[in-house]
Every structure is written in structure tokens, then in C-alpha cells.
Amino acid sequence: MIQKILICFENCIILTKAIQKIGVTAMDEVDMELEKAFQSKIDAELKIEPKDWMPDAYRKTLVRQMSQHAHSEVVGMLPEGNWLTRAPSLKRKAILMAKIQDEGGHGLYLYSAAETLGVSRDEMYEQLHSGKAKYSSIFNYPTLNWADIGAIGWLVDGAAITNQIALCRCSYGPYARAMVKVCKEESFHQRQGYEIMMNMSNGTKEQKEMAQDAINRWWWPALMMFGPHDKNSDHTSQSMTWKIKRTSNDELRQRFVDATVPQADYLGLTVPDDKLAWNEETQSYDWGEIDWDEFRNVVAGNGLCNRERLQTRRDAHDGGKWVRDAALAYAEKQKKRMADKAA
Ligand code: 3HC
């Protein structure tokens, strides 16, 4: 009897292995076919839409990037929010208010676009509030005076536009379409910041010094927004194959430097980089090296404002719970009222 059971057991193992082998091969082949069809769609510049088949890794990369982009927008409201009550005029207060509202809208827009990939809003909030998810390092620097509000609009939103214009051609439809609207508003953000810098650079001696101090503190962190050098980037090559990224980190950063240095010259401000020089041959600027230790340190959570920014986000989320509960209760009531009416 024992002999029989052993043989049966042995056959089961062989059979399982065989099924696995056939199954895995067949499944592999199906997946390979699907991946091939997926990549040829991307190569043909066709947009991938939420209901289309996509490799899990493509979905995962988009959830990571889009949710972190949304976190950056929402956390990005905080440094400027700090100066709403201290804006130098009613006009400036109104402009800053409009800009900050735009950023909040960009965040909600991007969270909604990320939700089309199957991730929930609550999951994304939990990843931000727990510190698991990243947001752009730039928002962990303090805004010390009004010139910083100008430098943020001019440099931070200027860098964001450089990056986001490329994202308008991203292979994932909802992300690309969200970027078109976002970029239109970002150009207003950049212009209003540059106007502040123009007023201060042409203002009193103290104002000009404040503008110069602001570019000294925001120039290099703005270059860090484009991410690590391509050779040190975990995601660039795959993201370029999938056309999530259309231009690499270094290329976008160079594009930003080439566009922004002449603007600083026009303001009569000095870019804080003694290696900055126009290269006639490449028709672009040569420039120094980013302090990657500072970058890694800030991204790791040890920037000047990381803890304060996250705590503010957590407090806002907790403080707004009653609004979410009321909205859900109201929606439930509406749903019941409609059902009673239909009955
Ligand atoms: N701050 C924090 N983390 C950063 C970073 C930065 N400045 N730059 C790169 N990283 C992280 C990446 O998220 C990645 O970490 P992860 O795997 O945990 O997500 C790691 O460093 C390696 O970087 P890669 O370059 O390989 O990663 P990506 O391919 O994702 O490229 C990116 C980084 C260029 C920021 C890309 O994610 C991207 O284009 N994101 C969308 C745009 C965006 O998020 N911009 C942030 C600012 S938004 C803004 O400024 C709004 C404006 O209105 C104020």
C-alpha cells in the first residue's frame, strides 16, 4: 500500500512540474506577445489608456511617478503659503493666492490621473504621510523673505515647466493630458515669479541684495529637481523605452540652465556657479557640479524643512477629516434619497 501511495505522490509531483512547465511556457508566450504588442503601440506614438493592457512594471512606475508628482504639488503649496499673509500688496497677495490654489488643483488633478491606474487616494495619502513616498526635494527649503517667492516662481516653476512640457508627450494618456492644463498654469507661475525678481532687482539696493541672496539659495536646489545624473538614475532608461520620459534628466536640466542664465543676466543677478561659462562649440552653458550629498541628504528626509512639511500635511489631513466625513454622509443621503425616489 505504502508503495502505491509513494508512486502516486511521485506522479503528482511530475504532473505538477509538467503542468507548470507547459503552463509557464504558455503563459510566458502570452505575456511576451502582449508586451510586444504594448511596446509597438508605444513605438507608434499611440497613447496607453486606463483600460488597455499594460505590463505591471509600467503601471507601477506610473503610480510611483504620478503620485510623487501630485505629492510635490500639494507639499509645494506650503513654502509659498507661508508668505500669503505677508505679501507686500493686495495685488501680490491675490496673485500668490491664485498660484497656490493652482498648485492644489494640480495635485488633485494628478491624484485623479494616478487613480486611473488602480491606486486609491487614501493609499497615496498614506504613502506621503508615512514618509514612504517622495516629493520633490526643493520643497524642503525654507522661504526666508519675499524674494524667495519670486525665486520659487521663476526657478522652481521654471524647472517644473521644463520637465512638464516633456511630460505632455508621455505615453500614458491621462498623465499627458493632465500636463497640458498644468503647463498652461505653470507659465503664469513662472512669469509672476520673474516679475517679482525684476521689481526687486530694479528696486532699492537692499531689494537687489535680497534677490541675489534668493538666487544664491535656490539655484542649485532647483537643478536638483531634475533628478540624479542619467548614469545614476534608476528609472530613466526604462522610462525612456516606455516613453514616460521623453527627455533625460541631464538633457532637461541643461535645457533649463540654457534658458535661465540669460534671464538672470537680464536681471543683473549672478548665478552662484563660478564654473558657469558659455560654450561656443556646444552652443550651451558649461557649469559646475551639483552637491549630490546635499541632494541625497534632503531626499532622505534630513532637509531643513522635511519634518515640518510632512507634519503640516498630516495635520491638514487629520484636520480635514470632518469635511470628508460630512461629504461622504451627504453622498450617502443623496444616494438613499435617489433610491427611495426610484422605488
Ligand atoms: N526630489 C526627490 N526625489 C527625487 C528627486 C527630487 N528632486 N529627483 C529624483 N528623485 C528620486 C526619484 O523619485 C527616484 O526615487 P524612487 O524610485 O523612490 O521614486 C530616485 O530619485 C531616482 O531618480 P530617477 O531620475 O531614476 O527617477 P525618475 O525617473 O522618476 O525621475 C523625476 C525623477 C525627473 C522627478 C521624475 O520622477 C519626474 O519627471 N516626475 C514628474 C515631475 C515632478 O514630479 N516634478 C517635481 C516637482 S513638481 C513642481 O515643482 C510643481 C510646481 O508647480 C511647483
Cβ burial of 161 (10 Å; 0-12, 13-18, 19+) is buried
- Spell out which residues line ligand 1, taking CB within 6 angstroms: 64-65, 68-69, 72-73, 76, 103, 106, 134, 136-137, 156-157, 160, 163, 186, 224-228, 233-236, 239, 249, 299
**Separation of CA 205 and ligand 1 centre (Å):** 37
User: Cα separation of 118 and 60, whole Å?
Assistant: 10
Ligand 1 atom closest to residue 236's alpha carbon, by position in its atom list: 29
**Separation of CA 75 and ligand 1 centre (Å):** 14
Rounded mean pLDDT, 170-191: 96
pTM of the model: 0.91
172-202 in b/e form (b: 16+ CB < 10 A) is bbbbbebbeebbebbeebbebbbebbbbbbe
pLDDT of residue 335 exceeding 90, the answer is yes
> pLDDT tens, 28-84?
788 889 999 999 999 999 999 999 999 999 999 999 999 999 999 999 999 999 899
The answer to whether the beta carbons of residues 186 and 157 sit under 8 Å apart is: yes
Ligand 1 atom closest to residue 103's alpha carbon, by position in its atom list: 53
